[in-house]
Chains A and B, each alone.
Chain A
Amino acid sequence: MSHKERQNLISLFTLVIVSVPYLIYIIARHNTESFAGVGDEISFWTVAIVAMIPVRIVIEIIAHIAMTIVTAILTGKSKINNRTDERDYLISLKSNRNAHYTFAVSMIVALSLSAASGTLATLFVLILIGGMATELVEIASKFFYYGRGH
């Protein structure tokens, strides 16, 4: 497994370990809290979404550093070849494209289902799920393209 594929695995790991439990926690907390009005509920959801971003970034950085250290210990190499070449850029572009399509579709689904259900919680939960699905599609695309060669 190349270094890039290991990085992909780390991203999948942080997505599953951090984002999914966080979503469950936020939904549970939303159900227990009472909101004075729509404004309060919007504040709750926007804070929940914005707070997740730096937490994910920090955890992902820590996970990548840990992986690099473990790889260096196991392989005995002090320097990891982290070169990014044309094939890596091509795979990254294709994966980003797939992720963008997924995000667009998930937003349409979120807005449609929210309009049908009439609740704000539906919209924001679906936005969060859509974000995770987008990331999952990007990771899965990278695995697929690296396995195929391009």
Chain B
Amino acid sequence: MVAATEMGTYQIANKIRELRFHHQQMTQQELADKVDVTRQTIIAIEKGNYSPSLELAFRIARVFEVPLTEIFAYLPSDKENN
């Protein structure tokens, strides 16, 4: 499932929930502790309600040991497609 934050006609999608599941079912709190944010911030990012800063995005990518583009994507919004 891909969550997305809208910014104009494009949206920032992420696969954090999926990646957590595939990393020994990491909890939101565990990920929050690893990247030094609150659990509420991780929840907001996963739901697509908040776009993380570049630094936070890199920290998340480092935790999952994948490139940034495998976690976050800049996609045309659904409204544009419709």
Contact = CB atoms under 8 A, between A and B. Distances in A.
Interface of B: 36-41, 44, 47, 49-53, 56
Contact of B38 (A85, A148, A149, A150): A85
B44 A83 contact: no
B37 A86 contact: yes
Given A149-B44, A150-B44, A85 B37 contact: yes
Contacts of A83: 36-38
A88 B39 CA distance: 12
A85 B41 contact: yes
Interface of A: 2, 4, 81, 83, 85-88, 146, 148-150
Contact of A148 (B37, B49, B53): B49
A148 B41 CA distance: 12
Nearest to A2: B40
Given A86-B41, A86-B56, A149 B50 contact: yes
